Amino acid sequence: MKKELVCLLAGWLALWLFSACQPNPKEEEPSGAKRTVLVYMAADNNLYYYSGINFGQLLATADQEALNGGQLLVFWDDLDGLSRLFRVEASANLDQADADTTLLKSYSFGNCLTPESMAQVFTDVHELAPADEYGLILWSHGTGWLPADYVQRNVGWNASQPAEDLSSDNGLNAAEGVRLPWFAGNGRESWPAGLPATKWFGESDGEHMDIADLGRTLERFPWEFIMMDACYGASIEFVYELRNAAKYLVASPGEIVGCGFPYHWILPDLFASDTDTKGICTRVCETFHRYYSDPDNQETYYHSSAISLIDLSAVDALAERCRQLLATADSLPYEWNHLQKYDNTQPGYFYDLESILEEALGGGSTSKSAAQASTRGALPEDLFAGAVLLHRHTDELLSALANYNSWIPLEVCCGLSAYVPRYDCSPNPNLDFLNGRYYDTAWAKAIGLTAEE
């Protein structure tokens, strides 16, 4: 039953868009808007089902008031290898009909995550939808800084599997899913109640994009904000590569469940004119957290949230302060049970940056006993204040990185996750490889870390 619903949704949406949204060659050049927002959906993977849901949320919410004179564009790379750029046309009356779309351009990308492919789309967006300022939402999978070749071989999720593990029978059926009222009457009436896929960036037909390539590509274009609708976008190694790409970054230090950003809730925030860019990003963070943290919200099956607002102009200063602090430490921490994890793999890939630094400096930020906890305070209180402007999280965070669900208590959360090289599992060729690649990251070099001899 769930497979049938997925096929119905994906097929309906693809056919509707393809048949109803043909480009109009006589259309006049847009005169320019206050803001253009691009949602870049790299959906040629097991999250394709959720791309239909999120696209549908946008269409069901995009009226003239929500878009507020701005332009909303969606780049959609689907399972059939079709890559298309749409403009969402504001609906005059959402009670009568969802917003329509105009197909601006089609592409023949084999992989939409190469620097060349992504830069082509960004160039087209700036030419076809001129505006005073631009915002970008990157939608796909994400594993923070982890190298693309390592992810493909070693990370638990197989991105070629159907979304939310549709091949398994967990005793639930679609009728027991959570009702999606904004899809009523459109053949999209229930939420999958099975194991959720979670997101990492990015995956397109089995191909991934290294963060250095992503950062260099993004830097070529003027973005006011970048939002990561993907997992581990607030891992500090990832954040550091994007420090010159925009003014602000909205991202999670952990995983985001497959249904991703609640676009029907945040769309008016994206085009708000009564606040500045920082205010827009603040509202999106608060709305995201409210959506996922409210136990009475029946639109989501998993109440798991960790979201951060990062001032990218302050990341270099944070790196310098971390370098100075670590220069006084004997070594990186090895009391792994004292560190706050964000993922359920063994050994872990993502730890809270504050807990790493506290442990390295002898503070023991996540120690369980009162005696150990009383030693906290080795870090300056304002260490993260400049870079992390806001962070919100639930008491527990869902992780499915190891290919099964775990709820991880968040006792410490500074809003940034980070990797710690581990040598206590040797010999381990995969881990040795990953440790070596970590020391090649711009972040590791910026904070003065070098490989152990």
Say which residue, 238 or 426, is predicted with more confidence.
Answer: 238
The answer, yes or no, to whether residue 79 has pLDDT greater than 60, is yes
Split at pLDDT 50, 70, 90, the class of 185 is: very low
Among 120-129, 137-146, 188-197, 356-365, the range with the most confident prediction by mean pLDDT is 120-129
Terminal-to-terminal C-alpha distance of the chain = 56
Q: Provide Rg for the chain, Cα atoms.
A: 22
The answer, yes or no, to whether residue 147 has pLDDT greater than 90, is no
Mean pLDDT across the chain = 79
Residues 416/235, Cβ–Cβ less than 8 Å: yes
Predicted pLDDT at 422:
80
DSSP type of residue 28: P
Task: Please indicate, yes or no, if residue 335 is contained in any of the structural domains.
Answer: yes
Crossing angle between the packed helical segments 48-61 and 263-270, to the nearest 10 degrees:
50
CA-wise closest residue to 198 among 434, 400, 437 = 400
* Category of 156 on φ-ψ map: left (φ > 0), alpha (ψ -120 to 50) or beta: alpha
The answer, yes or no, to whether residue 6 has pLDDT greater than 50, is no
Q: What token pair was written down for 218? A: 């993004």
Write the single-letter amino acid at 409.
P
- How confident is the model over 245-278, as pLDDT tens digits? 999 999 999 999 888 999 999 999 999 999 999 9
- How confident is the model over 8-52, as pLDDT tens digits? 344 344 434 433 444 443 343 554 679 999 999 998 888 888 899
Looking at the structure of the chain, the number of domains it has is 1
Please identify which residue in the block is written with the tokens 């949704």.
9
**Whole-angstrom distance, CA of residue 244 vs CA of residue 265:** 29
Write the single-letter amino acid at 168.
S
Split at pLDDT 50, 70, 90, the class of 179 is: very low
CA-wise closest residue to 439 among 418, 421, 423 = 421
Strands 351-352 vs 417-418: parallel, antiparallel or unpaired: antiparallel
Task: Please indicate, yes or no, if residue 420 is contained in any of the structural domains.
Answer: yes
Note down the domain range covering 248: 1-21+33-453
391: number of Cβ within 10 Å: 20
Task: Please indicate, yes or no, if residue 28 is contained in any of the structural domains.
Answer: no
The answer, yes or no, to whether residue 338 has pLDDT greater than 50, is yes
CA-wise closest residue to 366 among 341, 392, 334 = 341
**Whole-angstrom distance, CA of residue 239 vs CA of residue 364:** 25
- How confident is the model over 87-136, as pLDDT tens digits? 999 999 888 889 999 999 999 988 888 999 999 999 999 999 999 999 99
Cross-strand bridge partners of residue 418: 351
Task: Please indicate, yes or no, if residue 176 is contained in any of the structural domains.
Answer: yes
- How confident is the model over 357-412, as pLDDT tens digits? 998 888 554 443 333 343 445 789 999 999 999 999 999 999 988 777 889 999 99
Distances (CA, A) of 67 to 104, 127, 202, 341: 18, 19, 27, 38
Task: Please indicate, yes or no, if residue 278 is contained in any of the structural domains.
Answer: yes
Predicted pLDDT at 207:
64
**Whole-angstrom distance, CA of residue 138 vs CA of residue 63:** 23
Split at pLDDT 50, 70, 90, the class of 157 is: very low
Task: Please indicate, yes or no, if residue 26 is contained in any of the structural domains.
Answer: no
Q: What token pair was written down for 81? A: 């290898």
Task: Please indicate, yes or no, if residue 240 is contained in any of the structural domains.
Answer: yes
Predicted pLDDT at 32:
67
Task: Please indicate, yes or no, if residue 27 is contained in any of the structural domains.
Answer: no
